[in-house]
Amino acid sequence: MEWGGSEVAGAVVLKPGRQKPVLNRHPWVFSGAIGRLQGSPAAGDTVIVADSEGKPLACGAYSGRSQIRVRIWTWNPDEAVGADFFRERLGCSFQRRGELRAANHTTAYRLVNAESDLLPGVVVDRYGGYLVVQFLTAGAERWRQEILDALVELEKPGGIYERSDVDVRRKEGLRLAKGPVWGREPPDIVEILEYARRFLVDIKHGQKTGLYLDQRQNRRAVARYAAEREILNCFCYTGGFSVYSGAAGARRIVNVDSSADALALARRNMALNGLKMDDDEYIEGNVFQVLRGYRDQGRAFDLVVLDPPKFASSRAQVDAATRGYKDINLVAMQVLRPGGILVTFSCSGLVSPDLFQKVVFGASVDAGRDAQILERLSQASDHPVLLSFPESEYLKGLICRVL
């Protein structure tokens, strides 16, 4: 069997009537849509996806362990999957970051956002002179050397560090992996610029690949409301929203996170930007409890940021997640002064923007506070949403005035 003039390891033949998503360029083929398998492909091997009559529609990476049995690389029958393919796809993705790359105010951004940059399972972030890569799927893992070679050739980084220490790899039957994979090993702390603000990033031990790059534009949006305000930054991580708020003239900032390491970097990031304010606070604790404590003490704020981790990773968790979101939003409204600003996020892809808005509405009803939506927020443009792949939209936020 061949695709684009290259030998492939097999084919999955879809059940009758199951070709529509493939024709609409959705990149995933679920096991339930597959009628039969031809050949015996290993994890990550390239296979053809054919309709029930055997007509080839696409080719992609096979993953026998995952419910997502094939992730499509290409629909183009003339395009073979190999070193040239990855160099081409990566190069196009890098070009799409042109504006961010040309601006000298930002040196940390996502170069490749997996499926939504037409490279399923491949994530590449730049932090100054270093690249951080994630190979999230069997297909991405299969081509890791070709991908690394192309990164070196096209981007000429000082070094490449791997952060494939993410749970989704287990669903693909892959071990978690992390460490330097090419060139110089990054130092423990790398300094980057984001809209000319300075941030220290721990590439090796930090969350995600070191920074929540997807919040870049939202951090800037929040700064517009921060002047003269007393701010409570919940789930602050390394102080992203605090640095922007401090630079915009916030009166005082209380940072809350469960990670002592993150808080330590938040403190250093404030100082690095000349924003060391004596009565700022750094509270190591559980936001659910800390917020209740403030409410019970009658402590009040002018602006509250809620940027929690993902509460729902599967459909079964959506109900519990919405209860969690409602809980923190309710208590956050209770600690806001009249006319205060609530900036609230959910990064659970399974909680739709519509459902999230309903949850915040429910919180406002229970808090007995009218609230107005001033702005709707989404993920930064280097984390694009591919229209044919709505699953790539996950981050949503609301800026509300709570009356």
Nearer to ligand SAH, 135 or 212 (CB): 212
Segments of 138-264 assigned E as strands: 159-164, 177-183, 190-194, 197-201, 230-234, 252-257
Nearer to ligand SAH, 169 or 219 (CB): 219
* Minimum distance of ligand SAH from residue 308's CB (angstroms): 6
244 binds ligand SAH (CB under 6 A): no
CB distance 379 to 393 below 8 Å = yes
* Minimum distance of ligand SAH from residue 214's CB (angstroms): 9
Q: Mention every residue, 6+ apart, whose C-beta is less than 8 A from residue 122.
A: 112, 114, 133, 134, 135, 136, 140, 147
Q: Mention every residue, 6+ apart, whose C-beta is less than 8 A from residue 160.
A: 130, 131, 132, 133, 148, 151, 152, 180, 181, 182, 183
* Minimum distance of ligand SAH from residue 325's CB (angstroms): 13
257 binds ligand SAH (CB under 6 A): yes
How far is Cα 99 from Cα 114, in angstroms, rounded to an integer?
Answer: 20
Amino acid at 367: A
How far is Cα 97 from Cα 99, in angstroms, rounded to an integer?
Answer: 6
Nearer to ligand SAH, 120 or 240 (CB): 240
Taking Cα atoms as reference points, which of 123, 135, 132, 143 lies closest to residue 177?
A: 135
CB distance 129 to 157 below 8 Å = yes
286 binds ligand SAH (CB under 6 A): yes
Q: Mention every residue, 6+ apart, whose C-beta is less than 8 A from residue 21.
A: 28, 29, 33
Exposure on the CB side of residue 191, measured as CA atoms within 13 A: 8
Exposure on the CB side of residue 333, measured as CA atoms within 13 A: 25
* Minimum distance of ligand SAH from residue 237's CB (angstroms): 3
218-237 binders of ligand SAH (CB under 6 A): 219, 235-237
262 binds ligand SAH (CB under 6 A): yes
282 binds ligand SAH (CB under 6 A): no
Q: Mention every residue, 6+ apart, whose C-beta is less than 8 A from residue 353.
A: 376, 396
Nearer to ligand SAH, 80 or 377 (CB): 377
Q: Choose one: 41-49, 151-159, 160-168, 207-215; the region binding ligand SAH (CB under 6 A).
A: 207-215
297-326 binders of ligand SAH (CB under 6 A): 307-309
194 binds ligand SAH (CB under 6 A): no
How far is Cα 272 from Cα 240, in angstroms, rounded to an integer?
Answer: 12
Interface size with ligand SAH, residues (CB under 6 A): 21
38 binds ligand SAH (CB under 6 A): no
Residue 381, φ and ψ in degrees, nearest 5? -75, -10
Is there a catalytic annotation at residue 347? yes
* Minimum distance of ligand SAH from residue 102's CB (angstroms): 24
* Minimum distance of ligand SAH from residue 343's CB (angstroms): 10
Nearer to ligand SAH, 109 or 237 (CB): 237
Nearer to ligand SAH, 38 or 258 (CB): 258
Nearer to ligand SAH, 145 or 289 (CB): 289
User: H/E/C letters for each residue in 243-275?
Assistant: HHHHHCCCCEEEEEECCHHHHHHHHHHHHHCCC
Nearer to ligand SAH, 42 or 288 (CB): 288
Start-to-end CA distance of the chain, whole Å, equals 65
* Minimum distance of ligand SAH from residue 236's CB (angstroms): 6
Q: Choose one: 57-65, 169-177, 250-258, 384-392; the region binding ligand SAH (CB under 6 A).
A: 250-258
293 binds ligand SAH (CB under 6 A): no
68-127 binders of ligand SAH (CB under 6 A): none
Task: Using the structure block, give the residue that is written with the tokens 């940021």.
Answer: 305
266 binds ligand SAH (CB under 6 A): no
Which of 59, 236, 347, 400 is flagged as catalytic?
A: 347
Which chain residues interact with ligand SAH by CB under 6 A?
207, 212, 215, 219, 235-238, 240-241, 256-259, 262, 286-288, 307-309
**Residues forming the active site:** 347
